[in-house]
């Protein structure tokens, strides 16, 4: 960390504090600021365009007679802000959402204050058209509202000073440049000679700065006032964490000698004047981090930082992720321009970057550049790994660890589908991520926020948007159904009746949309929007969009109709629970009827398979998985059907279209439902193959893949606990437990997961005679049942021995 006079260049987007600063905690929001107009004003620049790209600094100095025991403020900004108190980075935000639910952070800054003069300083960025798709925005603005009378002295108004930083300009990292779908916005180009170094420190001279300009309307909480922008709501998730993280090794260096001691902060290196050097660093695994590059001298030297998940060959193929020979880095970039001073300057990008490989390209001009350090600060949602899993197969531990890293890198202020390319919260992905969060961490706050985010995304059709928050509108009707089932999942795992019941109107609108589009044959009729199911190799040229099976655009899809049945069968239980008996019965009966309609029209008795459409010309794992999960196929026939689903397509017919990593989650559920989950572990070969290819997170799709980190592929972490150890809720709110272990070829398996009442822990061993023995430990007040091969054991709270 640099001291006064050095810059933390760039503020962040997902950061909380530096490791040296005591980590702040969210303070309890004052109900007053959730019901009354705020006394503070939104402030901006007096002359700069309010919706143009810009990076701005604010300062406010004030005196205190003594160090306070409590000094709580409420703070927000658009797009992003980072607040310093007396030179220390304290809080960042706001948590991403939309304009109708614009988050503010409530934090007690008393630990950072002193008697006498104090200074609040903030950097606020507005990225305009260069913002990531995940960043919704209105216009540049910043606000601080003191919580009580004593704190009103820091309210934002024209007593705050502002400075527009001319050092910043955007580096365009877009789809044409990287030849793929990437919506992460612009990188940062920073000219050190134009930067107001030390601006956040109390001693900085801001006499030349201009007074901030209040924005003309009152700041207000959601639901108040005449204008609908920046409807303020309290942040509901904790601050993101930040952990110092050193890169592992230098993989190659051209034009300069650099060794691994540099990465440990033990030495520096110099690039001579009028020279070019390219150094490739390897983190050793994929990470989300704020890189920090510290340099001195090197007037007008151009330093380009490039970030990539993997190196690529001349055909842009990744191959083994550990290999760099004959490969190049093509990826997202930032730039820093040296100012020639002998003082150390630290470049830090505005947003975190995702990388395994980080390459710096240095082009000096008339004087040498000295490079002092390069490191990262990992950032993400502060999930804690509370679950554990072990077995007689040591290789599963690698899958657990890499799966957990994958899930962690796909969670920040929202869930992400992937951190490098999109950082968008898609419902299909989020449902799987939520299960992992519940089972591995017990932390349901990000899941709860996601459910609320999707509810906020609903538009006039009645559907939710497929990804939200997002500045780019997109609709996937099957993902609206997954949102409904997410509410069911949450209801089964947590007792939170007011929250769940508040979702019922939105659920009704989603189900009505689908029901109104049923055709006279009882299957789905023509459907609008993008009816994505899976990135499988569908033979559906009429659909015109990837990931869509036959029967969406013209109607008659068994897959889409059965997903609708699956959703209604589950959510009907929720409506019954809240006394909505008429709706509940309606959804239950519609679910049954849809499943029967699909069986009547799409079941191919000769092949013993469910076809994708009534013409019976195409067959997929997907249709048959849904047929099992909805009981469209009679229970007595489901095991035989599942065996066909599992048959390798190289065996000839049935030659089913195969599920990719994403939809294998539902394949695993069908294995459990048919009592065939002993076959789960052999299904993990693709995950072992990814590890053998040098991946350190699990990819979006089988090779070749765009994204090396996609949380939907981390589903084995959930399955190790839910399928192998067999731990599942037996009643709403996880009020009781059903344990159905499937050890497959393992000799033993043990696991533990957090439960609202404590911890559920199991250990199972196979006996020489083919039996099962072990222990089950349930927290106080939790009871349940263990089922294994037709045998049932009643479980009570505490530890008990099982011997079957």
Specify the 3-state DSSP secondary structure of 664.
Answer: helix
Spatial distance between the Cα atoms of 55 and 45, rounded to a whole number of angstroms: 11
pLDDT score recorded for residue 600: 98
One DSSP character per residue, 590-652 reads: HHHHHHHHHHHHHEETTTTEEBSSTT---BBHHHHHHHHHTT-S-HHHHHHHHHHHHS-GGG-
Question: If you average pLDDT over every residue of the chain, what do you get?
Answer: 95
Biggest CA–CA distance in the chain, Å, is 87
Q: State yes or no: pLDDT of 2 exceeds 50.
A: no
In the predicted structure, residue 41 carries a pLDDT above the cut 90: yes
Instruction: Check whether 192 has a pLDDT greater than 60.
Output: yes
| Domain 517-674 grouped into CATH 1.50.10.10 | yes
Q: What is the pLDDT of residue 22?
A: 54
Task: State the angle between helix axes of 477-493 and 427-440 in degrees (0 to 180), rounded to the nearest 10.
Answer: 20
Confidence bin at 216 (pLDDT 50/70/90):
confident
Chain mean position to CA 4: 35
Give residue 13's pLDDT: 30
pLDDT at 540: 81
Q: Which CATH number fits domain 242-380: 3.30.465.10, 2.40.50.100, 3.40.50.12240, 2.60.120.260?
A: 2.60.120.260
Residue 572 pLDDT exceeds 80 = yes
Average pLDDT over residues 48-71: 97
Q: Which two tokens stand for residue 453?
A: 């985010």
- Mean pLDDT (whole number) for 622-634: 98
What mean pLDDT is predicted for residues 520-541? 94
Q: How confident is the model at residue 6 (pLDDT cuts 50, 70, 90)?
A: very low
Q: What is the pLDDT of residue 618?
A: 94
- 406 within 8 A of 709, measured Cβ to Cβ: yes
For strands 736-739 and 783-788, give the pairing. Answer: parallel
Q: SS3 of 791, please?
A: strand
11: pLDDT strictly greater than 50: no
Summarised one tens digit per residue, pLDDT across range 790-801 is 999 999 999 999
pLDDT at 330: 97
> Mean pLDDT, to the nearest integer, of 289-315?
98
15 has pLDDT over 50: no
Q: List, in sequence order, every residue forming a beta bridge with 107; answer none if it has no partner.
A: 26, 73
pLDDT score of 21 more than 70: no
- Cα 623 from Cα 551, distance rounded (Å): 12
pLDDT score of 648 more than 70: no
pLDDT at 5 over 60: no
Decide: 15 and 240 in contact? Cβ < 8 Å: yes
| The two structure tokens encoding residue 749 | 């398996």
Q: How far apart are CA 52 and CA 734, in angstroms?
A: 49
Instruction: Give the model's confidence band at 765: pLDDT under 50 very low, under 70 low, under 90 confident, else very high.
Output: very high
pLDDT tens digits, residue range 705-726? 999 999 999 999 999 999 999 9
What is the pLDDT at residue 4?
34
Which residues in the chain are classed under CATH 2.60.120.260? 32-172+192-238, 242-380
- Helix and strand numbers (H, E) in the chain are 16, 34
pLDDT at 614: 98
Q: What's the average model confidence in pLDDT over 636-664?
A: 84
Q: How many CB atoms lie within 10 A of CB 535?
A: 18
Q: Name which of 35-44, 215-224, 793-802 the model is least confident about.
A: 215-224
Percentage with pLDDT > 70 across the chain: 96
**Where residue 9 falls among pLDDT bands split at 50, 70, 90?**
very low
| Predicted pLDDT at 24 | 80
- Give the other-Cβ count within 10 Å of 790's Cβ: 7
Q: Residue 649: is its pLDDT beyond 90?
A: no
Q: What is the pTM of this model?
A: 0.95
List, for residues 406-436, the tens digit of each pLDDT value: 999 999 999 999 999 999 999 999 999 999 9
pLDDT tens digits, 590-626: 999 999 999 999 999 999 999 999 999 999 999 999 9
**Topology classification of domain 32-172+192-238:** Jelly Rolls (2.60.120)
CA gap 579, 606 in Å, rounded: 44
Between CA 571 and CA 495 the distance in angstroms is 16
Which 3-state string (H, E, C) describes 296-350? Answer: EECCCCEEEEEEECCCECCCCCCCCCCCCCCCECCCEEEEEECCCCCCCEEECCC
Task: Kindly report, residue by residue over 373-410, the tens digit of the pLDDT.
Answer: 999 999 999 999 999 999 999 999 999 999 999 999 99
Out of 11-25, 186-200, 250-264, 665-679, which region has the weakest mean confidence (pLDDT)? 11-25
């Amino acid at each position: 960390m640099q001291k006064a006079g050095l810059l933390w260049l760039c503020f962040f987007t997902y950061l909380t504090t530096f490791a040296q600063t005591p980590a702040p905690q969210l303070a309890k929001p004052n109900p007053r600021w959730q019901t009354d107009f705020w006394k503070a004003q939104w402030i901006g620049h007096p002359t700069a365009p309010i919706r143009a790209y810009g990076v701005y600094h604010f300062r406010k100095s004030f005196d205190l007679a003594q160090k306070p025991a409590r000094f709580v403020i409420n703070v927000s900004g658009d797009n992003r802000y980072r607040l310093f108190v007396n030179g220390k980075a304290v809080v960042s935000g706001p948590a991403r959402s939309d304009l109708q639910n614009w988050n503010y952070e409530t934090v007690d800054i008393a630990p950072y204050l002193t008697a006498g003069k104090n200074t609040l300083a903030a950097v606020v960025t507005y990225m305009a058209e260069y913002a990531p798709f995940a960043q919704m925005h209105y216009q540049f603005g910043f606000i601080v509202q003191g919580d009580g009378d004593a704190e009103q002295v820091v309210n934002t108004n024209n007593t705050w000073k502002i400075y527009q930083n001319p050092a910043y300009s955007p580096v365009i990292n877009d789809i044409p440049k990287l030849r793929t779908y990437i919506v992460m916005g612009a990188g940062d180009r920073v000219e050190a000679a134009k930067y107001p170094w030390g601006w956040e420190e109390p001693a900085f001279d801001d006499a030349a700065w201009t007074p901030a300009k209040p924005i003309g309307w009152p700041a207000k909480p959601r639901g108040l006032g005449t204008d609908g922008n920046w409807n303020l709501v309290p942040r509901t998730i904790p601050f993101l964490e930040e952990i110092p993280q050193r890169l592992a090794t230098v993989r190659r260096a051209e034009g300069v000698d650099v060794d691994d001691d540099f990465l440990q902060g033990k030495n520096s290196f110099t690039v001579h004047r009028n020279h070019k050097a390219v150094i490739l660093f390897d983190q050793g695994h994929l990470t989300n981090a704020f890189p920090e590059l510290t340099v001195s001298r090197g007037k007008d030297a151009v330093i380009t930082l490039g970030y990539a998940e993997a190196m690529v060959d001349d055909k842009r193929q990744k191959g083994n992720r550990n290999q760099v020979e004959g490969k190049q880095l093509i990826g997202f970039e930032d730039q820093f321009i040296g100012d020639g001073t002998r003082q150390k300057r630290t470049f830090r990008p505005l947003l975190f970057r995702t990388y395994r490989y980080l390459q710096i390209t240095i082009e000096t001009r008339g004087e040498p550049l000295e490079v002092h350090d390069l490191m990262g600060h990992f950032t993400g949602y502060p999930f804690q790994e509370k679950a554990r899993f072990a077995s007689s197969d040591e290789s599963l531990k690698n899958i657990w660890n890499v799966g957990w890293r994958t899930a962690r890198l796909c969670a920040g202020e929202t869930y992400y589908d992937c951190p490098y390319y999109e950082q968008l919260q898609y419902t299909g992905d989020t449902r799987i991520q939520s299960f992992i969060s519940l089972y591995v961490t017990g932390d349901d706050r990000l899941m709860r926020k996601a459910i609320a985010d999707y509810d906020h995304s609903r538009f006039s059709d009645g559907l939710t948007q497929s990804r939200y928050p997002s500045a780019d509108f997109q609709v996937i009707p099957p993902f609206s159904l997954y949102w409904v089932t997410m509410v069911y999942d949450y209801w089964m795992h947590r007792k939170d009746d007011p929250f769940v019941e508040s979702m019922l109107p939105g659920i009704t609108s989603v189900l009505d949309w689908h029901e109104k589009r049923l055709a006279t044959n009882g299957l789905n009729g023509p459907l609008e929007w993008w009816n994505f199911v899976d990135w499988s190799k569908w033979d559906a040229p009429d659909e015109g969009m990837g990931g869509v099976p036959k029967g969406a655009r013209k109607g008659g899809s068994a897959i889409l109709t059965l997903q609708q049945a699956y959703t209604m069968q589950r959510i009907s239980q929720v409506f019954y629970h809240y006394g909505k008996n008429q709706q509940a019965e309606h959804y239950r009966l519609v679910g049954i009827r849809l499943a029967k309609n699909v069986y009547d029209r799409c079941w191919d008795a000769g092949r013993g398979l469910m076809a994708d459409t009534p013409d019976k010309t195409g067959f997929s794992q997907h249709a048959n998985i849904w047929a099992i999960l909805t009981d469209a196929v009679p229970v007595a026939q489901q095991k035989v059907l599942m065996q066909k689903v599992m048959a390798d397509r190289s065996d000839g017919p049935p030659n089913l279209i195969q599920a990719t990593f994403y939809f294998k989650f539902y394949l695993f559920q069908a294995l459990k439902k048919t009592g065939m989950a002993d076959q789960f572990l052999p299904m993990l070969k693709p995950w072992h193959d990814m590890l053998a290819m040098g991946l350190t997170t699990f990819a979006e799709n089988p090779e070749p893949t765009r994204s090396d980190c996609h949380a939907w592929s981390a589903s084995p972490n959930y399955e190790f606990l839910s399928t192998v150890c067999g731990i599942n809720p037996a009643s709403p709110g996880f009020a009781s437990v059903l344990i159905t272990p499937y050890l497959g070829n393992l000799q033993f398996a043990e696991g533990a997961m957090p439960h609202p009442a404590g911890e559920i822990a199991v250990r199972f061993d196979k006996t020489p005679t083919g039996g099962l023995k072990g222990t089950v430990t349930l927290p106080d007040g939790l009871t349940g049942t263990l089922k294994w091969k037709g045998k049932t054991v009643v479980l009570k709270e505490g530890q008990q021995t099982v011997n079957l």
